[in-house]
């Protein structure tokens, strides 16, 4: 499912116009991004948690030359699924 298909599904499920559904999705993405930038986490009970994790500096290899290189420490967004979402996915 791509972004437009998600907007269409949200509009149909919530009884919104596609424009309103698109605006709501854009607002959600924007707000989650801003919170993660501030290193806050966004927790949606039953769905999951968006948070930032620290990645330590490490050595890596250039796949073309095989030369070692240093990869600096960084922050990465992470999503951890909630129990209700895991249960929904695993139901048969």
pLDDT digits (tens, 9 = 90+) for 7-35: 999 999 999 999 999 999 999 999 999 99
pLDDT digits (tens, 9 = 90+) for 36-54: 999 999 999 999 999 999 9
Q: Structurally, what CATH architecture does the domain formed by 41-92 represent?
A: Irregular (4.10)
CA gap 66, 31 in Å, rounded: 40
Write down the domain spans for the chain.
Answer: 1-40, 41-92
Q: To which H or E segment does residue 75 belong?
A: strand 74-81
For residue 85, the Cα-to-chain-centroid distance in whole angstroms is: 14
Q: To which H or E segment does residue 84 belong?
A: helix 83-90
User: What pTM did the predictor assign?
Assistant: 0.80
Q: What is the chain's Cα-based Rg?
A: 18
């Amino acid at each position: 499912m791509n972004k437009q298909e998600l907007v269409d599904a949200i509009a149909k499920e919530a009884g919104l116009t596609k424009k309103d559904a698109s605006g709501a999705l854009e607002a959600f993405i924007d707000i989650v991004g801003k919170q993660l930038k501030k290193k806050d986490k966004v927790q949606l009970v039953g769905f999951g948690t968006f948070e930032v994790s620290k990645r330590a500096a490490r050595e890596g290899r250039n796949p073309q030359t095989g030369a070692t290189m240093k990869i600096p420490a960084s922050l990465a967004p992470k999503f951890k699924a909630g129990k209700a979402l895991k249960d929904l996915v695993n139901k048969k």
